[in-house]
Amino acid sequence: MVNVIAFFNSKRSRLVSAHKTVLEAQKALLGFVKSPECKDIPDSTKENINTYDDLVELALNAALQRSWDAFVLPVKNLLADVSLEEVCVEVEFVS
């Protein structure tokens, strides 16, 4: 059962993954952001991301600049009978 979605979206990188717990989703998102697959965050910035809280702070600033978005979205019971392929998440940041 999908309880949590980890989401990252930028011009050159994207991650949408399903997880059972918030901690698993946070770990997946943090791992993705620090990986070479995430091309929109410079390596020098990645070196300063050591915790999920570091990532949240950076994600807030990035969202305000409209450069990339990242979040963990709890969806417990909402998607109990839905596969990840059927999930479509659209988020708009309003400044």
Q: What pTM did the predictor assign?
A: 0.70
Output the pLDDT for position 94: 41
Q: What is the pLDDT of residue 88?
A: 47
What pLDDT digit, counting tens, does each position of 63-93 carry? 778 778 887 878 765 545 555 555 444 444 4
Determine the average pLDDT of the residues in 45-61: 90
What pLDDT is recorded for position 36? 94
pLDDT digits (tens, 9 = 90+) for 20-46: 898 999 999 999 999 999 998 899 999
Distance in angstroms (rounded) separating the CA atoms of residues 85 and 95 = 30
Question: Quick one: tokens of 44?
Answer: 């020098």
In the chain the beta strands, taken as DSSP E runs, fall at: 4-10, 14-19, 68-74
Residue keyed to tokens 């943090």: 30
